[in-house]
Amino acid sequence: MWNGHSVNSLRTELPSASAMAPRLVVPRHDRGVLVDPPLAQLIDVVQENQSRLAGDISIYGVSLRSWREETRAAVIAESLAYTASLVGDSVELHGNGPLIVTGHQPELFHAGVWAKNFATTGLAQRAAGTSLNLIIDNDTVATTRIKVPVGIWEAPGIEWIPFDSTVPQRPWEEATISDSASFESFGRRVTDRIHECWNYVPLIATCWSAATRHSAVSRRLCDCLAAARVAVERSHGVRNLEVPMSRVCSTRPFHRFVAAILCDLPQFHENYNQIVRDYRRKHHLRSTTHPVPELESNGDWLEAPFWIWRAGDQRRDRPFARRVGDVIEVRDFRDVIARLPLKGGHALDQGADVLQGLANEKIRLRTRALTTTLFARVFMADLFIHGIGGAKYDAMTDAICESLLGIPVPQFATISATAYPPLPTPFQVTDALLKSTEHQVRDVQYNPDRHLSDDGQALCRILVQQKQQILKAIAGRHPTLVEHRQLMEINSQLSAEAAAARTSLQAGCDVMRDQLRANSVLKDREFSWCLHPEAALTSFLRTEFLG
């Protein structure tokens, strides 16, 4: 029972996630910014969120207000220690006001994602609060390389440059540097290719040394990548605390959160799956895995919305739980790993004790996408800042939150930006122009008389007149076989005279296709932040978000 509501009463009021899914458009022009709600309104949103979460709300008898205070204290303590390890010096809080939180996987993401980090600091400064970046190291490593633009203006291409050898898809938390030579030379290799092709110095040239220095302290890839990014950020006024999600998931408030979901897993399971189905139906999604898969069941075992694995594993597993008498059993794919008491005045705390003990057995219990933001938004942050992708799926988190807590959910902000590295100016060609020209090529084939030169029209006047006479004669009916053959023969002769026009148009199509292929590189907003010149990119982000 959450917030004193019975399970049955919540079922009849289950909100629709699809009704709340935001409509967000990626900014496509250079230096374009998306902020929703507008930046000037975000302080008001922070205050509204605080008001929503400050009421007399309890979860299994635990005050949400005290729970949030405990979570904040625990997470900030972890963040101070971790951030100090990245910068090699002690770190202090810059305010005791609201906690503004954002987060992303520890990959070398594009500049639009990086904008959130600047915005988080800027908003926290205006609110006299604290800014925090969650490093989502419970996600899997998708790649250990980045795409780099190479070539020349007329024919640019993509080269994938690795910062480590290829590794199996494992959680970032478990990924360590396996090829030291590749990792140490990464900055130089990328810098050389960018300078050779485009004659500028990318940001990676100055920040990668922080990553290689940190590799002497920690061999974890996510720590070293974070060290490079944080080194740049701190030199430009971004003062976010940093913390991996794995550390957040080691805190007692988090384990109490897991225990609360497990205690009411049948209803959570049903609500979660209904919300996912509603979202898919609203957005016409047929995939059973997009945006997230439904929770499965196996007899009386129900899938819980978390990840679980053991230290050193290369893949994550899904935990399942069931009620056996007054105990909740939790298992991974191998065996039962925990038994949580279900009854008693301190069931959540007793369950949290059991779950915290898993760490001693080197068992990792981590959030998944929706539970990451559910915990961050309700139990930790005064405002959570999403990118566009996260904002779209987090409409489902809104519905899950309302169905369990029975309260208006705290709002989140959506922030993204587009910044292109200084590659040559894209060609002035569009898909629409190519399609129009391709239509003209087809028209030359079937109506060559429309595309004759002045000389050609004089030579083929008789053929054109014959074609017009046949078309006039067959108006309103199908041509006879003889008439059809006559039209085909006339068109064939006229096509020979219009061959120059067809050749010219076809050549134009070929050029436009080449230019569109070039533009797919020259106008790619997904290039990593570290491929931009430092001064240009940081000046843009500081101006937009730090003021």
Q: What is the DSSP string of 250-309?
A: TSHHHHHHHHHHHHTHHHHHHHHHHHHHHHHHHTT---SSSS-PPPPEETTEEE-SEEEE
> For residues 50-66, b (16+ Cβ closer than 10 Å) or e, as one string?
eeebeeebebbebebee
Neighbours of 485 (CB within 10 A): 11
CB 502 within 8 A of CB 532: no
Using one digit for the tens of pLDDT, what is the confidence trace for 470-491? 888 888 888 898 888 888 887 7
Question: Is 8 a residue whose pLDDT tops 50?
Answer: no
Q: Residue ranges of the domains in the chain?
A: 1-7+33-252+381-423+526-547, 431-522
User: Residue 220 — left, alpha, or beta (φ > 0 → left; ψ -120 to 50 → alpha)?
Assistant: beta
Using 50, 70 and 90 to split pLDDT, how confident is the model at 14?
very low
Question: Is 6 a residue whose pLDDT tops 70?
Answer: no
- Phi first, then psi: what are they for 147, rounded to 5°? -90, 135
Angle at 91 between CA 369 and CA 220, to 5 degrees: 50
Q: Which amino acid belongs to residue 497?
A: E
Cis peptide before 37 (omega within 30 of 0): yes
Pairing of strands 297-298, 241-244: unpaired
Mean pLDDT, the chain, integer: 90
pLDDT at 46: 97
Those residues whose C-beta lies under 8 Å from the C-beta of residue 182, and which sit 6 or more positions away, are: 162, 163, 164, 165
- What average pLDDT does the segment 415-425 reach? 97
| Weakest mean pLDDT among 15-19, 105-109, 208-212 | 15-19
Using 50, 70 and 90 to split pLDDT, how confident is the model at 454?
low
pLDDT at 365: 97
Question: Is 5 a residue whose pLDDT tops 70?
Answer: no
> What sign does the dihedral 422-204-115-539 (CA atoms) show?
negative
- What average pLDDT does the segment 202-217 reach? 97
- Phi first, then psi: what are they for 216, rounded to 5°? -80, -20
pLDDT at 13: 42
Global pTM value: 0.89
